[in-house]
Each structure stands twice: as C-alpha cells, then as structure tokens.
Amino acid sequence: MTSLTSNGNGGGHSPSKSPLPPASGGVFAPGTEVVATASFNGAGGGRDLPFRKDEFLRIVDITQDPNWYIARSSHGEGLIPANCVRPTSPHVAPSSQSRRNGITPMPWLHGLIMREEAERMLTNKPDGTFLVRESTNYPGDYTLCMAFKGKTEHYRIYQQKPGKFTCDDEEFFDNLTQLISHYKRDADGLCHRLVTPIIPDNYMIGRDEPDIALRSKVFRDEGLVIRRHELSLGDIVGHGEFGDVRSGTYKRQKVAVKVLKRLGVVDSLLEEAQFMASLRHKNLVQLIGVVLDDTTDLFLVTEFMANGNLVDFLRSRGRHQVERRQLIQFALDICEGMAYLESKQLVHRDLAARNVLLAEDMTAKISDFGLAKHANSPNHDTSSGKFPIKWTAPESLRTSKFSNKSDMWSFGVLLWEIYSFGRVPYPRIPIQDVIRHIEKGYRMEAPEGCPAEISKLMNEAWAFKPEDRPNFIQMLAKLKMVSAASSPPPTPTTPSSKGSA
C-alpha cells in the first residue's frame, strides 16, 4: 500500500472483500463525527481500526478507495469501512473534484472562478483576507488569492511531485488544508499571513469543521486531547472573548474551562490553544487540554486560578489589605513570564491586569493569548474595534506594528494599574484623545504612594521610541533590585549563651 490518502498515487486499501459505500451515497468530510452501525474486527490489513457497534469515531482523512476512511477513536487511528458507520449530525460532503484532488473541504475553496471575480471579491478587504480558486490557466492547479495593500496577490499552488502541494518549491504539504493552515500561522514568503477567508455564499458552515480534525493531531501529539466524558463542568466563573468560562473537574483536579459558543471563532480558539500548548512557565497559565469530541461545543481546559484576575483582586482589597511587598511580587511574576515569552520571540499584544490571573498561593500568571503572535509574524488588521487603546504603544496604535518593545509599553501601564490598585489608566482623558496626549509627551503621574523607583521604571517603559525602552530581562533585573532594596533586613540571630564563659 503506497498511500492511505488520495494525495498519492497508490492503490489505497484493498481488502479481499471491499465493503459497499454508504447507502446514502454520501461521503464524510474530515472532522465528521460518526457512530458505528455495526462492529468491525478488521479486514486483515495492519492499518485497520477495529470498533464495536454504537462506538463513536471521528473521520480524519479520505482515501483513494471511496469505501474506506481514516478515522480515530479512543483506541487509536486507522482505516474503517464506510458502510459500517453513519454521521452523528448532517455534514457537508466534498465535491467529487475535491475528492479526486485530495482536497479537504474548507470554506475558502471557491472552485472554478475567474481571476477578475476573485479580485472583485477581495476589493477593499483587510490585508490577509484570502480565497482559493481552481486555476484557469493551469488546469488541475489552484490559485491562492490574497488582499494586500489595496491589491490582490495571486499565488499558484501546484503538485511538484505526486501528492505534494506547494507554491514555492520549498515547503510541501499533503493537501490544501495543511498548506493553508501553515500560511495562517506564518507568512513564510507570502506578502502577508493568511487571516480571514472569503466564504462562498452557498457554503454551509457546520460544527464538524475540518480544521478541528487537522489541529487535533497537534494536540494529540502533545497529549492534550481530553475526552468529553472525562470532564465535569461546574458553575460559570467568568466570561471571555469566545464564550463562558466555567469551573470544572478533570481527573480530580479543579480546572477552568473556556466553552466556545460561536462557531465563527472555532479557528481563533484553536489557535489560542495551539499557542498555549507550546508554552511552559510558572508565570503563564498552563493549558491542560482541549475537548474536541463534544457534539455542540469546544472546550479549552486550563489550570484553575483560585483568586481570579489581578485587576479585580486589587480593586476589591485596596491599599489597606494588599501589602507593598505583594505589589512588587506581582510585578516580578509578570515580568518573569514576559521575559520567557520574549526569549521565545513571542509578542502578547494584550498585556493588562485583567489578563493576569492569581493562583491559590497568589502567584501571578499571564493568560489570554488570543492576540499573541510570533514576533516575526506580519501584523494583522485591527479594525474590529477590540483594540485595548489605553494599554497599547503609540507606534502600534499608528501603524499596527507590534513587538516585544510594544509589550514593554503595556507592562508600564500594568505597573501603573498595580500601584493604583486597579484604577483605569489615563483617568479623565477620553479614550479617543489618549494617543494625541501621548504624542505630545504626556505621561501618567505616579499613583499615590507609588515608590519613586517604580515610577522611574514606568517612564522607562513609556519611552516614545521603542528602541529606548528596556527589554524584559533588563526590566526584571531592575525590579529585583527594587525588591531587594525595599525588603526589610533579616533579623539578627542572638548568639546562644550556652557554653559561654
């Protein structure tokens, strides 16, 4: 057997007695959840996946033989016969042309449309908006069309060798889904990272989006896939960008669970989870896993932070209950977490006290990586109106350029939040006037009772030119010096009188 998928030229799975296709004549899109209508013990192939009647599985990929699919269950991954399973919910089947070319059905695929039509659809769209069409000049090839600086860029996608898609002869992918997912993460030679697809009017978005199946491999490889029955949900403890945040229990451990409510942000939630999966630090909220097999929702499971977010903690207690040494420790914790991100060339882009959570032992940990990106990634459209103006560096407000130095500006604002016990930055200045005041040289005064050394560090973080700001390693060293200087000297030990003359 040369290949399991339709991307290669092999003959696919050829058991001695091939099952018939589903009675409906339909096909299953990758990502579709199916339930077994009969038991299957294997047809003699080493790659078969046995299962029992009524067992749930998820389709991972198609094969050259329409009677067989690659699927995954709680026992593993392998080939299953199509006539022994049925979908648990309606799904969109790929076109016959898509199946012949090894393409996973995706909302960005528009079929055979003219170049001019693609350009019309991308007119006045934000940079990174894209679609894929069948090539009119090179039958059998595809064209990636992307909006960039008021124009449309066209990239030919072709198979340089059987079953390997490329647009530059350098990076090769098994199918278009993998190619698009790669360029969503990084421009890697394109004019811009892929951001938002143009979806055809006749495309029906369903729960079983193929991107879920593709990304689930990443989480599975990291040991981060959680089965829905392993997770118990508790009360709602907050609300996030994607939906409610609930308490929960996983393997007798208390956890926090982001519950996805809007299908339109599936990719955003999975991107945040994939980002978190690569991070390990005591001052970053730890991802425990993701639940992908629920019939209606997606779940992102993280460690539970018993004391909530930093801004609410500071506001509810105030200067009479929070000691000064606790404030400097918060600053140290956050700076350590940011120094780690900086060492990984990662930019948070939304650093603020509301996005810092407190563990049971009061350790501060950075959370909410929904806007986080690699430092070398192209910058993205910020026209959604969700821009944290009062925490954002002036160069980012003007040019949408983000860096570790723009994170440092945000850290300066966060320091101000800590020492003001959670006040909103730039009090008495309307949000639309903040950038004008900053560019004229205005900087916030130190909060009441703020040590002069901390006020100095705030102003260093607010240097107008990014290159004049410290990096996080430098800031951490300065904070440690402030902490050491403000700590009470150790109590002298009184010599014992035992044995004295």
As annotated, the binding site for ATP includes: 258
Tokens at residue 279, please?
């991070």
Q: At what angle do helices 176-185 and 210-221 cross, to 10 degrees?
A: 70
The single residue listed with the structure tokens 């929702």 is: 297
| Nearest partner of 8 among 83, 61, 48, judged by Cα | 61
Cα–Cα distance, 223 to 217 (Å, whole number): 10
| Partners of 289 in beta bridges | 301
Burial of 219 (0-12, 13-18, 19+ CB in 10 A): buried
User: What would the two tokens of residue 169 be?
Assistant: 């002869």
From the list 462, 370, 360, the residue with the least C-alpha distance to 415 is 462
Where do we find the tokens 């004549």? 25
Which amino acid belongs to residue 331?
A
Q: Give the whole-angstrom CA distance, residue 105 versus residue 65.
A: 17
Instruction: Report the alpha-carbon distance of residue 387 to residue 399 in Å, rounded.
Output: 13
Distance, CA of 71 to CA of 381 (rounded, Å): 37
Q: Report the DSSP pairing between strands 356-358 and 346-347.
A: unpaired
Closest CA to 32 of 66, 72, 64: 72
Read off the DSSP letter of residue 83. G
As a three-state string, the secondary structure of 227-253 is: CHHHEEEEEEEEECCCCEEEEEEECCE
Q: Is-catalytic flag, 350?
A: yes
Residue type, 123: T
C-alpha angle 393-397-403 in degrees, rounded to nearest 5: 50
Q: Which two tokens stand for residue 108?
A: 């960005």
DSSP code, position 379:
P
Per-residue CA distances from 470 to 154, 343, 362, 442 (Å): 41, 14, 27, 19
- Which DSSP helix (H) or strand (E) runs through 314? helix 310-317
Q: E strand or H helix at 76, and its extent?
A: strand 76-81
Which residues contribute to the annotated binding site? 258
Catalytic residue among 61, 293, 350, 368: 350
The residues assigned a catalytic role are 350
